[in-house]
Amino acid sequence: MTRWGMVIDLDRCTACQACVVACQVENNIPPVDQADSERGRGISWIRLAPFREGEHGTRPSLRLVPIPCMHCERPPCVKVCPATATVIGHEGLVGQIYARCIGCRYCTTACPYTVRQFNWKKPEWPQPMQDGLSPDVSVRPRGVVEKCSFCHHRLQRARDQARMEDRTLRDGDYLPACVESCPAEAMFFGDLDDPRSVVARLAAGPRAFRLLEELGTKPKVIYLSKGESGGDV
Amino acid sequence: MTSPDRDGAPDRRLAIAAFAVMFCAAAAIGFVTGGLRSPSVDQPIAFNHRKHVVENQLGCSTCHQFYETETFSGLPAADVCSTCHSEPQGKSSEEAKLVRLLKEGRPLVWNSLFRQPSHIFYSHRRHVMKAHIRCETCHGSIALTTSPPRSVKRLKMADCIACHEQRNVSVDCTTCHR
Amino acid sequence: MKIARRKFIGLMAGAAAGAAVGGTGGRIFADALATSNQPLYPPRGPEQFVLSVCTACPGGCGVRARRIGDRIVKVEGNPLHPISGGRLCPKGQAALQALYHPDRLRVPLRRVGPRGSLRSFRPATWEAALAEIASRLRSIRDEQRPESVVLLRGGDRDIGTRAARQFLAAFGSPNDIAFDRGNEAGAMALFLTQGVRATPAPDIRGADYILSLGSEFLEASPAPVYSMRAYGDFRQTHTAQRGKLIHVDPRLSITAASADEWIPIRPLTHATFALGIAAAIVQEGLYDREFVAERGTGFEDGPGGGLRAILGNHFSLERVAAESGVSVNVILRVARELAGARKGLVLPPHKGPLLGGRLADHLAVHLLNALIGNIDRAGGVLIADEVAIDAWPADAPDPVAAAGRRQPRLDGAGSESLLSGDPEQLARALSSREPYPAEVLFILGTDPLYATASHDAFTAALDRVPLVVTFATIANDTALRSDWILPEPHFLETWNVQTSPPSVAFASVSVASPAVSKPLYDTRAPADVFLDLARRTGLQRALPWQDVAALSRAEIDRLFEARRGAIVGTPFDAAWVRMMEGSGWWAPGYTSADELWKRTGETGGWWDPFYDHGDWSRVLRTPSGRFDFRPDLVQQIAGASPAVTGGAALILFEPLPIAGGTGAELPFLQALLDPGLEERWETWGEVHPDTASALHLRNGSWMRVASAHEAIVVRARVTERVVAGAVAIPVGLGKRGGGRWAEGVGENPLRLLDGVREPISSLPDFAAATVLVSEASPTGDRPGKRS
């Protein structure tokens, strides 16, 4: 069985935020101006979260962690959705079905990683910006919740291509836009159930951890902590 | 135990609840039917599918050039029409209109009869070339019409699901929704 | 079950109302999903990928544009490209917002009203623009004053700038003036010690211990994607040990956040700290004796008794500790770690494309690198072996041009000066019209009015030049004060041949072809403009090409003649080329210029991955042929320890999304200014809690920052990310131009400076400014209002 997952190596990550913009461009996220940005209307499916340590000591430190949707194995959002608008598929992708979403925002509250965002605003692109929209991703109307999809439209296309070539998917055929862009090559993506895949090997390594593991959500985004890898990866 | 002076209150509550239930149900029905009512179609010319497909035995891909190689099917651009119609082939007034439009060099803007919602991924090439689904399975008898029909076969998600289930293909939401 | 009548009525009423809402409201909602989204339902079409080169910064990343029909829907890295390696930074990712920006210039604009506002401009044709400019140029040639034409340019790695420089040379002006502040200090340090005019290329990937003395190489390096890729490999690879990164700076920057340790130091003490480390290494005998003895000069002898004596006399651990605020123990530990590392590397305080740093700091760092044997070795400081692709024949200039080129440069920079360009001195010369007046000023690839350290002088200077011509895609601050604004195409719309950026150790040439079938607007590539002007001024012998496409081809023909390197390819291909060239073979994979042209078009470019370490005749070109430890200059640095007096030290930095003064135009980038403070769409000033409480500043309140010259109002951010006694402010916002998303957003702290220069280098000293910080008055002081 395939189980899609992502590995983010915090020792390589430079917090440059290329993933954030790559995601916004790929997923037809509309630009917002200063006023709307200040009202929190800007949407990003992946963000850099600051963890400040020791601000009151003599030597503060700052950790910046990229946070996409964790595509949990036991996703709290799916449990609370009254409209079956968010679902987990057979390959572990937690999908958001916009046509079903009623905008109740139970899921945004339930998500412990706060990666779900509500569309307060009608999406608008000043001319001619809509020429840059991707035909692979639908534009979300006002009033629905959206979130990182692991760029599953890329899986749809990759699978379609593989089928046309009468073959199965290969490791690397399907990468989300953030992973593809990452300059420090800190992000990896693939099938966690395939023991030969890069993500499976990294996820089994000594530096691997998950965010808020104690909640039992079983995230499929795995982080690698800073420091020695303690062996070949 | 309810006190006598509050008699009737549960009834009222029930009525409100019933109102809400029916409201939602009717709204949902209205949502589905109202949203998918067929549009009145205004085309550059009244295209005669029957003439092309039945009488002249042209394959669909003569004009819809992409469904075998791309995810989408494509509507013919002016240069596709002008392969045959740079000069009139017959006496039809609609053809005369087409020839005139082509001579003026204006782009042909066809309106889609079959609209695929933007939130659905659908690969024509895979369904046609790999699953060997026939065009009429989804597009009905469009090939037999002599002018743009008032209504065409409408597909609902249930149709997709039924076919997928029958053929044991994934019915995960994210297989198609995007 | 019995249904009471009341309940039944309730049911029916609900259904009726529901049907009403569902039928209309539901349809509206469904329409929102399908029908009314129709214009926003991006049209489908055949998919294509086109190769190009990103010019959002000088980094020169090879990119791959995804095209659907004739629309570009995504820009990604070109996986074969040696600089991007298929990756991109946020600026590159946002390139689509720049291509489809609603405020792009669509036609040439002629100023008909007062300077400073886009409303003062009227649309014009290209013919009108070029005819007017060419007529002015012709009369200047007739008057035999070709030196009065000036080119002020940004980088020099793109085809447009090369065409402009060639035009200027053929026309006969010496005034080819670079505004390349990010690379000046590093290049000077290299020239003063090694006699080579180039930008040093630190081998980050090859190092295993990096001591970053305030180098923001993970934010605003000259080639950000290349640096970040190298950093990733430095940290975690299959083969090597994990590299360790120490960041020493007054501010906990994004680079510092990635480091294993941040060592805060007092402002203005980078050079002292570096020389203190050097002194400790020398004292403990940990330096590279072999390199110093065999390749060095000025270590044991020279002014002040040589470097060793000066370090011993002036940079005792106690003094360095007292000045920098770092304890003796920490200095000693870092010195031992650095010297003990197999491949330790020290990086100088380069803060970004506009803030290249001070010469004293760069020189001290370079000397420290030399002491630990880092010159031209793997994991050390390298120098790229550039390839000349200027396509023009080395034609003898005509007599008018020859005489013009013998005139002094207006900015006083050039052959004798250490500076490659001096925009502030240029401004003075333009205003005073001495040594001679300028008649035409071309401004290409830079926004000097935004980036200058002498804003008022520059503003006045522009007013004194009869014809100012600015190239831009969106009207920037300088364009608004010009006479003509010539609209440039976006990089996805035009041809380009781009050479490798500063700080990269190999030569590369990238080829870009237009990614759309025709430009969106009536724009012209700068190269096309200068080729046209050459035809109109009788200089077509020097620039005979029809257009930028023909010029691109001619440059690749020239590249073929270099007879080295290879088509870009996979890491395996690169290893093969390296092995072949290392044993004296050249196996290029192409046999003719035609083939090279075709293959670079298919793959994105050419490069030479082979580096010949220790070719001393190439990298040590001082008169002595040795590495000069410059005891004379170290003595000056020792004697002139700058200090912050009478206020707070002003620390400037450049966040990656707006580094180089570009990026504020794009809303995606405005939202990402600092992930640590979650800052967006405004200029802020970071102050330490101790400083804040002394000044009664609250986090989030408005704060007035005043120099002797100017004051700005910014948001106060009280944070321990900056040392006490300083205020740290980002550069990149506060624009007069830049379109709807940049104009009037935030403040430009460069305005606080007024031409303070570093003595040895004559560079504007961005680090030496002292400012007064106070609470902004609740009514009067607001961003955008100056007092």
pLDDT of residue C22: 37
Residue with the bigger pLDDT between C787 and A20: it is A20
CATH of C201-382+619-638, one of 3.20.20.70, 3.90.1170.50, 3.10.180.10, 3.40.228.10: 3.40.228.10
Q: Is the pLDDT of residue B25 over 90?
A: no
pLDDT of residue C709: 85
- The rounded percent of chain C whose pLDDT value lies above 90 is 81
Please check whether residue C436 touches A, CB under 8 A: no
* Residue in C7, C10, C22 nearest the CB of B31: C22
Contact C235 A11 (CB under 8 A): yes
pLDDT of residue A57: 54
Tell me which residues of chain A, numbers 140 to 159, contact chain C at a CB-CB cutoff of 8 Å.
Answer: 141-143
* Residue in A89, A135, A155 nearest the CB of B173: A89
User: DSSP code of C69?
Assistant: T
pLDDT of residue C782: 56
CA dist list (Å): C741 to A43, C73, C676, C680: 17, 21, 22, 12
Cis ω for the linkage preceding C435 (within 30 of 0): yes
- Look up the ipTM and state it: 0.95
Rounded (5°) CA angle C509-C666-C467:
70
Distance from the Cα of A29 to chain B's closest Cα (Å) equals 14
* Residue in C74, C93, C238 nearest the CB of A232: C238
Are residues C215 and C349 in contact, defined by beta-carbon separation less than 8 angstroms? yes
A-C contacts at Cβ under 8 angstroms: 206
Are residues A46 and A27 in contact, defined by beta-carbon separation less than 8 angstroms? no
Contact A95 B130 (CB under 8 A): no
Q: Is the pLDDT of residue B19 over 60?
A: no
Please check whether residue B8 touches C, CB under 8 A: no
Tokens of B109: 């803007």
User: DSSP code of C404?
Assistant: H
C contact test, residue of B7, B13, B16, B23 with most C CBs within 10 A: B23
pLDDT of residue C451: 96
- What's the fold here for domain C125-181+388-488+524-544? Rossmann fold (3.40.50)
Contact A18 C671 (CB under 8 A): no
pLDDT of residue B90: 87
- The rounded percent of chain A whose pLDDT value lies above 90 is 90
pLDDT of residue C523: 98
Give the Cα separation of C589 and C594 in Å (integer): 12
Taking CA–CA distances from A181, the nearest residue in chain C reads C87
Which chains reach chain C with 3 or more Cβ–Cβ distances below 8 angstroms?
A: A, B
Alpha-carbon radius of gyration of chain A:
18
Would you place residue B122 in the very low, low, confident or very high pLDDT band (cuts 50, 70, 90)?
Answer: very high
pLDDT of residue C32: 39
- pTM equals 0.91
Q: Is the pLDDT of residue B32 over 80?
A: no
> In the sheet where C47-53 sits, what is the strand order?
C47-53, C62-68, C71-77
Which contacts (CB < 8 Å, 24+ apart) does range C289-292 have?
A: C290/C373, C291/C370, C291/C373, C291/C375, C291/C627, C292/C370, C292/C371, C292/C629
**Is the CATH code 2.40.40.20 the one for domain C644-775?**
yes
Q: Which residues of chain C have pLDDT under 70?
A: 1-41, 238-239, 393-395, 415, 641-644, 778-787
Domains with residue ranges and CATH for chain A: 4-54+61-224 (3.30.70.20)
Which residues from C are below 8 Å from A37, CB to CB?
A: 667, 670-671, 680-681
For chain C, what are the domain ranges?
Answer: 125-181+388-488+524-544, 201-382+619-638, 644-775
Give the Cα separation of C36 and C138 in Å (integer): 57
* Residue in C7, C17, C23 nearest the CB of B15: C7
pLDDT of residue B17: 60
- Smallest CA-to-CA distance from B45 within B89, B95, B115 is with B95
Tell me which residues of chain B, numbers 112 to 151, contact chain C at a CB-CB cutoff of 8 Å.
Answer: 115, 117-119
Taking CA–CA distances from C720, the nearest residue in chain A reads A55
Are residues C95 and C52 in contact, defined by beta-carbon separation less than 8 angstroms? no
Would you place residue B22 in the very low, low, confident or very high pLDDT band (cuts 50, 70, 90)?
Answer: low
pLDDT of residue C421: 92
Distance from the Cα of C72 to chain B's closest Cα (Å) equals 18
Query: Please, what's the b/e burial string for C478-514 (b: 16 or more CB within 10 A of its CB; e: otherwise)?
Result: bbbbbbbbbbbbbbbbbbbbbbbbbbbbbbbbbbbeb
Q: Is the pLDDT of residue B174 over 70?
A: yes
Which residues from C are below 8 Å from B14, CB to CB?
A: 7, 10
Contact C668 A24 (CB under 8 A): yes
Residue with the bigger pLDDT between B48 and A233: it is B48
Which residues from C are below 8 Å from A98, CB to CB?
A: 33
Taking CA–CA distances from B129, the nearest residue in chain A reads A164
- Smallest CA-to-CA distance from C93 within A44, A95, A121 is with A44
Which residues from A are below 8 Å from B73, CB to CB?
A: none
Contact B71 A160 (CB under 8 A): yes
